Each structure stands twice: as structure tokens, then as C-alpha cells.
């Protein structure tokens, strides 16, 4: 009976560590997806000059789930994007507030200017985002890995205590 309780506690602790570590991974994926979108938009605006909705619709399926949902919501409410993006910024729990501010500011202006202004806006967002990516990567490597290790170690400690 003690083995069963110990294994359940071990499993719960490992799962908790995994969940915490996955939140850091989701944050990194979101920021990287946004940077990939910026690179893709920059290339398309400079060379193909396709319709923005077409570009975003075709590209959105290549991203991770959180960013796909963000883009889908943006595309659905593009006419009222200010309110939708402000609401997303308040509700979201994937990225920190500074990164969310960069995303919201860029997306509000997306498609509202000529191509030269849009490319300039993309370059500014990429510049700001590089610092965020570095910060999120370090955070994911240190805190994410530590969370997983703590989950395993805590689970093993509880398993030993129960025995």
C-alpha cells in the first residue's frame, strides 16, 4: 500500500514539475513564433506584397498552439483589433507583460501603413524582441529545468518518506 501511495505522490510531483517547466517552454515558443512571423512578414512585404490576410491565414498553421490561437483571434476580429488585443493582453498568461506590450503594439499597426513604414515597424519590433528572446531563453533553461528537477526530487523524497 505504501508503494502505491509513494508512486502516486512521485507521479504528482513529477507532473507538477513538468507543468511548471512547460509554461516556460510555451513562453519561449510564443516569442519565437512571433519572431518567425516578423521575419516572414518582412520577406513578404518586401518581395511579394501579398494581401496581409492571405499571408497570415496561410502561415498561421505552422506555429505552436498558443500563437495559432492568438493569430486566429486577431484575424477574426481584425476590424476591432484594438479591443481584442487589449483584452488578450489582460487575459493571457503565456508571456510577460513587456513582451505582450510589444506584440500588441505591433499587431495594432499591422497593415495600417505603407510597406516602407511596415518594414520599419517590423525591424523595430524585432530589435525589441531580441532582448526578450534572450531573457526568455535563459529563464526557460534555468527555471524550467529547475522546476522539472525539483518535481522529480520532491517526488522521490516523498516516496522515501512514505516507505
Instruction: Count the neighbouring beta carbons within 10 Å of the beta carbon of residue 23.
Output: 15
Cα–Cα distance measured from residue 158 to residue 10, given in angstroms and rounded to the nearest whole number: 7
Phi/psi zone of residue 49: left (φ > 0), alpha (ψ -120 to 50 degrees), beta? Answer: left
Q: What is the pLDDT of residue 26?
A: 84
Q: What is the pLDDT of residue 113?
A: 67
Q: What is the pLDDT of residue 53?
A: 73
Q: What is the pLDDT of residues 1-47, one digit of tens each?
A: 777 887 888 788 888 888 887 777 888 888 888 888 888 888 877 77
Rg (CA), the chain: 20
Record the pTM. 0.74
Could you say which residues of the chain have pLDDT below 70?
A: 48-51, 79, 112-113
Sign of torsion, CA 156 159 161 163? negative
Amino acid at each position: 500500500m505504501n508503494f502505491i501511495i509513494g508512486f502516486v505522490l512521485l507521479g504528482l510531483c513529477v507532473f507538477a514539475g513538468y507543468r511548471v517547466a512547460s509554461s516556460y517552454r510555451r513562453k519561449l515558443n510564443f516569442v519565437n513564433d512571433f519572431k518567425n512571423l516578423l521575419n516572414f512578414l518582412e520577406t513578404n512585404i518586401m518581395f511579394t506584397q501579398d494581401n496581409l490576410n492571405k499571408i497570415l491565414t496561410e502561415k498561421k498553421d505552422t506555429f505552436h498552439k498558443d500563437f495559432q490561437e492568438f493569430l486566429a483571434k486577431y484575424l477574426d476580429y481584425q476590424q476591432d483589433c484594438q479591443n481584442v488585443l487589449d483584452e488578450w493582453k489582460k487575459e493571457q498568461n503565456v508571456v510577460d507583460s513587456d513582451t505582450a506590450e510589444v506584440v500588441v503594439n505591433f499587431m495594432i499597426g499591422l497593415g495600417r501603413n505603407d510597406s516602407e513604414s511596415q518594414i520599419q515597424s517590423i525591424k523595430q519590433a524585432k530589435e525589441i524582441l531580441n532582448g526578450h528572446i534572450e531573457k526568455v531563453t535563459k529563464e526557460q533553461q534555468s527555471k524550467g529545468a529547475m522546476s522539472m528537477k525539483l518535481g522529480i526530487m520532491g517526488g522521490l523524497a516523498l516516496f522515501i518518506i512514505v516507505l
